[in-house]
Structure 1
Amino acid sequence: MIGNFVTGIALLAPTAMLHELSDGLGVTIREAGLLITFGAIVLCVGSPVTAWLTSRIERRHLLMGAVAVIAAANFASAFAPNYAVLLVIRLLMAAVAALYTPQAAGTVALIVPPGKRGGSIAYVFLGWTLAAAIGLPLVTFIASRYGWREVYAGIGALSVLSLLLLAWRLPRGLYGTPVDLATWTELARNRLVVLLLLITTLQISGQFVIFTFLAPLLGQLTGAGPDAASAVFAIYGLSGLVGILTATRIVDGWGAFNSSLLATALVLSGMTVWSFGAGSLAVMAVGVAIWGMGFGATNSMQQVRLVGAAPAAASASVSLNTSVLYVGQAIGSAIGGMLFAGGQFRAAGFVAMGFMTTALIAVIVSRRVVATAQS
């Protein structure tokens, strides 16, 4: 979970300090946002590739190696002389960081009994929620007062702490099922798996249309400064924390489908409030709070449903889900960047709503796919 916190904040940090990166590196807000877009492209390719290349490596060594690279990359980022060098460092980090989240989920599946798998996987993904709840507000606070270089140095230090904890507590001798061509073929033929991957892409694309440029959008639409943006990030993250903690408690008894449906509906409801309340900081903050209740749980429930759809290929299916998650980030941040550069600040919310409405419909359809497969 702490490793996912480190991974999440390392990958999402630019969203919370776009102004500082723009001013410090002499680039536009949209160009600073490309640190997310290009990184997501590498991540979406890297996740399944690294799952295949590393499937026979002992999990303790694999996860420790990934966090070690994240630590080194963030320390290097703190000393990057220009935008081009920082972009290259982030791309190299993303290529390795791509393996951490899916392999962490697969490792948990090796440790806990099947009856507790859903809640345990959701707990591991709590790290990403904490990255939004605690990490991003801290990034905004530190970057606005001390600078973006200090942020990267701090993330490097947290990564070292995560590395030490993994070395201390993670059991030895954990090996997953080797991934080969037959595994990918089996997953491609599984209608439910393919639909779930599409749902993840839609969910994340919609959220990152807004999320990548959350602070600049608040500034343009409400005149909010860094402190107000930090407070909104905190609201988003804390709401997400409540949402995912609730999901970890109800998923094993209530079911991953019902939990996923509720989470997706919450995200759409929050985006609706954001879009129609654009211009009022208070109303938009309420929208973010509702959205946040669902954001962490959406991806966690997707992971749980994928593990249930193809248990023997869990590490591969989760890596694919992580891959399309980053596809969604790339799509959403690219669309959000074009809208922001074109001055279409209010339109971003409605575009995001379109993605999430489609995702909600797809979640409902996925239940029929399950019923068809069972019959």
Structure 2
Amino acid sequence: MTFPLFALMLCVFGVGTSEYVIAGILPGLSSDLGVDIPAAGMLVTAYALGVVIGGPIVTIATARIQRKTLMLLLMAVFIAGNVLAAVAPDYWVIVAARVLAALVHSTFVAVGIMLAVNMVPEGQSGTAVAKVSLGLNLATVLGVPLGTFIGEQYGWRATFWAVAGITTAATLLVAAVVRPAEATGGGAATELKVLGNRRVQVAIVMTVLGSAGFGTVFTYIAPLLTDVTNFSTTTVAVLLIVFGVGSVFGTMLGGKLADRSLMPALCGLLAALTVVLLLFGAAAPVQVVAAVLVFVFGAASFSIIPGLQARILTAAAGAPTLALAVNISAFQLANAGGSWLGGQVLDTAGVRWTTVAGAAVTVLGLALGLLELARDRRARAGEAPAATGSTTPTATVG
């Protein structure tokens, strides 16, 4: 990984840690601010809503700003949000702080992806996306446990100060080593027009379906492993780290496969995730097999992310920033929808059946991907008579 890509990945690591670590510091935060756990848990909902609402609005409003300059501005707002959270005198101020940080989340990640893609040779966009997205994986594996530890030792405010410090260092590194890149497309009007592209719309729906299948199961993975597999809570904590390691492996593999052959790879990975979810449910009572499948589940779930983002890049060529931001917001909606679906299944049929529900949602994403793959191949076949030169097909199907 080059130093500029590392700088972008470190920014994403800070953003991901800030988003996820709230779960680890909720007890101390709720006690200190005098609110109950459900009220404190609304900070997660507030952040998600901020991401979903803020992504399109902020992206449209900043469409003509030079990309590196925009990223530095977005990171400054994000840092301010975490500093405000660290000094918040009451519950409602910290809610406002979380929303402030969330408003720039989608646009920041989208711009980071665009800057990363500009740094690599043509045909390596999937790998570039994977390297930037690695920051989210590391946030889960390293950032959240470390942030939780800091919160337990020094208080929840120290966690927000730590996140602000990491993101400040990462922002300074971006300022020093990332080369400028002009805004793509023709401004807000062009970006909005891209959202009317059928291929972009389908790619966003694929993101929702593929990610919702993951969310349906992962939200309830702890009760699945304790109640069905009979692991202790301590073992489950270790297995969540194993899941995180699998996610790192899957992200990098998914990026490489997306560069080699985008839509065939994406369809294959969605099929693999469907199978893994079904196997997870079937083998959940067998501890050794379930432990292995936790790693495989992490790998399969995150392997689809580079391909989903790369599909947006190819479908929205010329003005991809807003489409990417909306797609990032779609991940949030998918996780929320998956959590809701899993909760309904858990209440009516039991936690083990969340894996079947997750597989059913994922297979819808697979079906949509196969339809797009067939459409792409028909389109290329129709263009073939007009082509000149070699008839060897290219490796990547966009």
Q: Which range, TM-score by smaller chain?
A: 0.7 to 0.9
Q: Tell me which residue corresponds to 1:178.
A: 186
Give the C-alpha shift of residue 341 in structure 1.
8.2
**Contact in 1 for aligned 2:12/2:133 (Cα 8 Å):** yes
Q: Structure 2 matches for 1:73-112, cutoff 5 A?
A: 73-81=81-89, 83-112=91-120
Post-superposition Cα deviations, 1:39-76, rounded to whole Å, max 9, x if no partner, equal 22221222122211111112222111222222232233
Q: Tell me which residue corresponds to 1:301.
A: 307
RCO higher in 1 or 2 (8 Å CA, sep ≥ 6)? 1
Instruction: Return closer, same or farther for 1:154/1:213 CA change in 2, 3 Å cut-off.
Output: farther
Post-superposition Cα deviations, 1:277-326, rounded to whole Å, max 9, x if no partner, equal 44666544333211111232212111111212231122232122112122
2-side partners of 1:82 and 1:218: how far apart?
Answer: 36
Instruction: Return closer, same or farther for 1:371/1:192 CA change in 2, 3 Å cut-off.
Output: farther
Say how many residue pairs are matched. Answer: 372
Q: Structure 2 matches for 1:8-19, cutoff 5 A?
A: 8-16=16-24
1:324 aligns with 2:337: no
Instruction: Return closer, same or farther for 1:151/1:101 CA change in 2, 3 Å cut-off.
Output: same
**Contact in 2 for aligned 1:208/1:332 (Cα 8 Å):** yes
Secondary structure of the structure 1 residue equivalent to 2:293: helix
1-side partners of 2:27 and 2:236: how far apart?
Answer: 12
**Contact in 2 for aligned 1:263/1:297 (Cα 8 Å):** yes
Specify every segment of 5 or more residues in structure 1 that has no aligned partner in the other structure, as ranges: none
Instruction: Return closer, same or farther for 1:237/1:266 CA change in 2, 3 Å cut-off.
Output: farther
2-side partners of 1:140 and 1:285: how far apart?
Answer: 24
1-side partners of 2:44 and 2:273: how far apart?
Answer: 21
Q: Between 125-134 and 267-276, report the one with greater CA deviation.
A: 267-276
Q: Tell me which residue corresponds to 1:291.
A: 297
Q: Tell me which residue corresponds to 2:128.
A: 120
2-side partners of 1:332 and 1:105: how far apart?
Answer: 25
1-side partners of 2:309 and 2:220: how far apart?
Answer: 26
**Contact in 1 for aligned 2:127/2:255 (Cα 8 Å):** yes
**Contact in 2 for aligned 1:69/1:96 (Cα 8 Å):** yes
Q: Tell me which residue corresponds to 2:166.
A: 158
TM-score (norm 2): 0.81
Q: Percent identity?
A: 26
2:247 maps to which of 226, 230, 240: 240
Instruction: Return closer, same or farther for 1:278/1:150 CA change in 2, 3 Å cut-off.
Output: farther
- Compute the RMSD of aligned alpha carbons: 3.1
2-side partners of 1:343 and 1:28: how far apart?
Answer: 29
1:275 aligns with 2:281: yes
**Contact in 2 for aligned 1:136/1:234 (Cα 8 Å):** no
Q: Tell me which residue corresponds to 2:375.
A: 369
Quick one: which amino acid aligns to residue 356 of structure 1?
T
**Contact in 2 for aligned 1:7/1:100 (Cα 8 Å):** no
Give the C-alpha shift of residue 270 in structure 1.
3.5
Q: Between 31-40 and 288-297, report the one with greater CA deviation.
A: 31-40
Specify every segment of 5 or more residues in structure 2 that has no aligned partner in the other structure, as ranges: 1-8, 383-398
Q: Between 136-145 and 298-307, report the one with greater CA deviation.
A: 136-145
**Contact in 1 for aligned 2:258/2:266 (Cα 8 Å):** no
Secondary structure of the structure 2 residue equivalent to 1:313: coil
Post-superposition Cα deviations, 1:222-254, rounded to whole Å, max 9, x if no partner, equal 4633x43432221111111112222333432x2
Quick one: which amino acid aligns to residue 196 of structure 1?
A
Instruction: Return closer, same or farther for 1:275/1:301 CA change in 2, 3 Å cut-off.
Output: same
TM-score (norm 1): 0.85
**Contact in 1 for aligned 2:283/2:290 (Cα 8 Å):** yes
Give the C-alpha shift of residue 24 in structure 1.
6.1
**Contact in 1 for aligned 2:255/2:307 (Cα 8 Å):** no
Quick one: which amino acid aligns to residue 69 of structure 1?
V
1-side partners of 2:372 and 2:87: how far apart?
Answer: 47
- Structure number with larger C-alpha Rg: 2
Give the C-alpha shift of residue 120 in structure 1.
1.9
2-side partners of 1:30 and 1:337: how far apart?
Answer: 16
2:141 maps to which of 122, 126, 133: 133
Q: Structure 2 matches for 1:18-33, cutoff 5 A?
A: 32-33=40-41
**Contact in 2 for aligned 1:236/1:292 (Cα 8 Å):** yes
